Amino acid sequence: MAELIRQTEMLHEGYPAAPSGLSAKASALDADAIWQRMESYIAWRFSLRTVEWIVEGRGAWSPPLGPATITSTEVWQNDAWATVPLTPSPLGGFVLPCCAPYRIIGTVGEDDAEVPAIVQEAWRRLAEYLAAVVVKPGVRTESVPDVWQGEYDNRAVAKALQDSGAADLLRRFRRV
Q: Is the pLDDT of residue 163 over 80?
A: yes
Does the pTM surpass 0.75? The reply is yes
Q: CA 9 to CA 7: how far, in whole Å?
A: 7
**Structural domains of the chain, count:** 1
- One-letter amino acid at 112 equals D
Region 130-134: what's the mean pLDDT? Answer: 82
Q: pLDDT tens for residues 63-82?
A: 999 999 999 999 999 999 99
Question: What pLDDT score does 133 carry?
Answer: 80
Angle, CA of 129, 49 and 65, to the nearest 5°: 70
Q: CA 125 to CA 79: how far, in whole Å?
A: 50
**Predicted confidence band at 83 (pLDDT cuts at 50, 70, 90)?**
very high
Question: What pLDDT score does 110 carry?
Answer: 86
Question: What pLDDT score does 165 carry?
Answer: 95
Q: Distances from the Cα of 72 to the Cαs of 47, 82, 113, 134, 148, in angstroms?
A: 20, 10, 23, 48, 47
Q: pLDDT tens for residues 85-119?
A: 999 999 889 999 999 999 999 999 988 778 999 99
Expressed as residue numbers, the domain containing 90 is 3-173
